[in-house]
Amino acid sequence: MRGMSEGVMYMVKLKYIDKAKLPVRREQKLAEFLPVFLTEGQKVPGRVEARTRVYLPEFLEFAKDLGWEVKGKKRITLTTHDDYAYLRLLVYGVVMSATKDPVKWDYLKDHVLSMESIPLRYWASKFKNVYWKYKNRGKLLYLARRFLEVETV
């Protein structure tokens, strides 16, 4: 029997984004989350599951803590085969964009690391569905704020 994540690699591409005002100076990127299907030696990218503003270096540090492989300096690409590392980074990235406070990012990181699989999958699928339905980061931000209320990070 094949493993659940066999045949799928997860990727996050960090792209240029206009800067938002922040209380602290941070490098900002647009993170695109997507699965890549590995079939017969081919890499077939799936649909982008979320686009969100992320802040460096915190986002990259969390990705590395989760075991993501990070490549590139200007055009940064992250990859993993770990389903849960993907879900955790997706939830962290989307909610990070709603907080803008580095102190809260630490709490968020701890919270996302401690989440059980069911709430983790629930929130990740909510974020994906809202993104697919509206293709709108504003709607994603609204949902991320609901996450902060419900999960009391």
Tens digit of each residue's pLDDT (9 = 90 or more) over 85-123: 999 999 999 999 999 889 999 999 999 999 999 999 999
Q: Is the pLDDT of residue 51 over 60?
A: yes
Q: Return d(Cα 26, Cα 36) in angstroms, integer.
A: 29
Report helix angle 117-134 to 83-99, nearest 10. Answer: 60
Tens digit of each residue's pLDDT (9 = 90 or more) over 14-50: 999 999 888 778 999 999 999 999 988 899 999 999 9
The first and second tokens of residue 42, run together, are 């081919």
Share of the chain above pLDDT 70, in %: 95
| pTM (global) more than 0.75 | yes
DSSP label at residue 20: P
**Local confidence band at 66 (pLDDT 50, 70, 90 cut-offs):** very high
Tens digit of each residue's pLDDT (9 = 90 or more) over 112-152: 999 999 999 999 999 999 999 999 999 999 999 999 999 97
**Nearest by Cα to 63 from 11, 20, 104, 111:** 11
**Nearest by Cα to 84 from 68, 107, 104, 106:** 68
Q: Return d(Cα 26, Cα 24) in angstroms, integer.
A: 6
Q: What residue ranges do the domains of the chain occupy?
A: 7-151
Mean pLDDT of 60-87: 96
Q: Are 58 and 39 in contact (CB under 8 A)?
A: no
Report helix angle 83-99 to 137-151, nearest 10. Answer: 100
